[in-house]
Amino acid sequence: MTIPAPSTNLNSYFALSAVSVPYPGEPYNPFTAEVVDWDTSAVTAMVRTFSGTLNNNPALPPYLNPFNLDISGWDTSNVTSMAGMFRLTSAFDQDIGGWDTSQVTRMDSMFSRAAVFNQDISNWDVSSVELFQSMFFEAEAFDQNLGAWDISSARSLGGIFSDSGMSLANYDATLEGWARLDEGETQIPTGLSLGANGVLYSNIDARQTLIEDYGWIVGGTYAFAGSSDADTIDGAASLYRIETDGLTGDDHIIGSDFGDRLAGDDGADTLEGGLGLDTLIGGDGDDVIFGARQGDAAGDLADRLFGGAGNDSLDGGYGNDELRGDAGNDTLIGGFGADTLIGGADDDELSGNAMGDVLFGGGGDDFLNGGFGFDRLNGGAGADRFFHTGAEGHGTDWVQDYDASEGDMLMFGSTATTADFIVQTATTSGAGGTVAEAFVTHSPSGQILWALVDGAAQGQIWVQASGTSFDLLA
């Protein structure tokens, strides 16, 4: 039996007396069905053997289609390196759990970005393997418990599970096995960095054993397990990012200083994000959500807050945040930063606070207050109110969709009469359309309070001050 050698016409072959399987090169796959019966007993290196067999077009010849033949019968007893062997494969998912890997010292990038591989290889003898780095990096389908592996010889675990499909249960079980010295194992290596970005775990004990007793750095995101009761989860002192999901009850969840994902789900929850780039999801119920921990000063980064169903209260705190009220009558406060606030379907109150914010009221009769800075406001459907304090620092608010016929109202935060305002029109580049904008100026201060996009088309411009409403165009 022969192995095809890489060449431009694929017509060059050589006998299997060679000691290694050649890397055929990307992007073609010159392997045909005869590969199943190859005698590989003399092979010592299978480096990147099937790497890059990505194409999947039935109109192409067989050697251009992705590799997924049954090679479970290969004799791998003399192989010492499988580095990158199935890297970037798009179709390979054969049962190779019975391979003899006792001589292998390198498995780095072996299944890196292998799209569909998810076979049980927990019984492999990996006691001689030194390099595991990136073995399952971005292997999105791979989800197996490898806790039985003997990693006594390991020198590198960097990125081994990062962005893979490893589930919380199997990662927990793998940590449990690797933190325990089983019969026949010679040692638990020290000073390793286990890469698992994007993978969840909850096995604190196993993780801490590896960190404290063996000097490991263990990656992953801690997933808190809640109950159906009112849980209090405080991650303020956590040295790693945390994630919660599936909680019920009226929960109080406090995040870490890293990028957390906190989901309250059912119940009236209180969520506090901490200083990282957090994603906070209230879920059902009347929730209170803070982008930062209550009492935190500057330092919080850009957070994403989602109220979910219910009448929610969202406060972004510091950072350039995104707040979404979703269903219900919500209160959204941007805080200190250039924030984006989106009210949702019902009657919402939106306050940008400091800096230049973007506010979208959505459906319902909304109240929009850009706050200090030059803000952009869009009330959406319904009778919306656009509030200006009258203070100099508030700046000019650009109102995109003022429509008197829908009941929209400009609200002034101090005492005033019709005579205190001037309406002027002018076309502004960048505002869109050919209709001029209407600029509402407060005469005593000389400050332009509102710029109404296409405002020149309005037959009425209503202002409310001290409880009294008047039409500036009357």
Q: What does the pLDDT read at residue 83?
A: 94
Rounded distance between C-alpha atoms, residue 98 and residue 143, angstroms: 18
Rounded distance between C-alpha atoms, residue 314 and residue 318, angstroms: 13
Residue 128: DSSP 8-state: T
Q: Are strands 304-306 and 288-290 parallel, antiparallel or unpaired?
A: unpaired
400, 359 contact by CB (below 8 A): no
Question: Could you tell me the sign of the dihedral formed by the alpha carbons of 13, 14, 15, 18, in that order?
Answer: negative
Q: What does the pLDDT read at residue 29?
A: 45
- Other CB atoms closer than 10 Å to residue 365's CB: what's the count? 20
429, 412 contact by CB (below 8 A): no
pLDDT beneath 70, residues of the chain: 1-34, 53-65, 225-227, 246, 295-299, 431-432
Q: What does the pLDDT read at residue 274?
A: 87
Q: What does the pLDDT read at residue 53?
A: 67
Q: What does the pLDDT read at residue 38?
A: 76
Q: What does the pLDDT read at residue 265?
A: 85
Q: What does the pLDDT read at residue 326?
A: 96
